[in-house]
Amino acid sequence: RPARAQESTMKAVMRREDVAQKRQEKAADRQEAIESRRQDMVSMNSYTQAVAQERKMSDLAQNREYQECKRHFKAVSREQESQQISEAYAETKENASYWMELKKIQLAEQPRGPIEENIETLQMVSEYKREEQRRW
């Protein structure tokens, strides 16, 4: 009987150890799963951040390129506008010079007729006054 008791005690101890070992294995498996998920999350966060950073850098580069393009087109537009203004100014100046010359020619020709008529009239008036003075 003592051998049986000893055997049954041994079996009970072995069962307890087996149960304890299974608990430890389950706990270790759970811990391993938790650690694996944590590492997956860390690597996913890292990947997400890398993708976001890459996208941000790409967006910044595209924005920079767009702004440079806008600046270039604006400069070209200003240059064209300046060229048009210069051409319009030159044309207006040329037209003004033409009209001034034409006006000078017209003024030079126009007053001669009335001035000559006035001279004749003044000479007649002057002669008439002299005649009047002689009569007195």
> Sorting pLDDT into bands at 50, 70 and 90, what band is 2?
confident
pLDDT recorded at residue 3: 85
Tell me, yes or no, if the pTM score tops 0.85: no
Q: Where are the domains of the chain?
A: 2-135
For residue range 118-128, what is the model confidence (pLDDT) as tens digits?
A: 888 888 899 99
Residue 84 to residue 79: CA distance in whole angstroms: 9
Element (H, E) at 111: none
Give the whole-angstrom CA distance, residue 21 versus residue 24: 5
- Count the Cβ atoms, other than its own, within 10 Å of residue 24: 10
Q: What share of residues in the chain are helix, strand, coil (percent, to 5)?
A: 95, 0, 5
The enclosing H or E element of 110 equals none
Residue, of 17 and 3, whose pLDDT is higher: 17
In this prediction, residue 113 carries a pLDDT of: 64
Amino acid making up residue 126? S
Q: Which residue has the higher pLDDT, 109 or 84?
A: 84
Q: What is the mean pLDDT of residues 7-28?
A: 95
pLDDT digits (tens, 9 = 90+) for 107-120: 777 656 667 778 88
* C-alpha to C-alpha distance for 17 and 30, rounded to whole angstroms: 20
**Type of residue at 22:** K
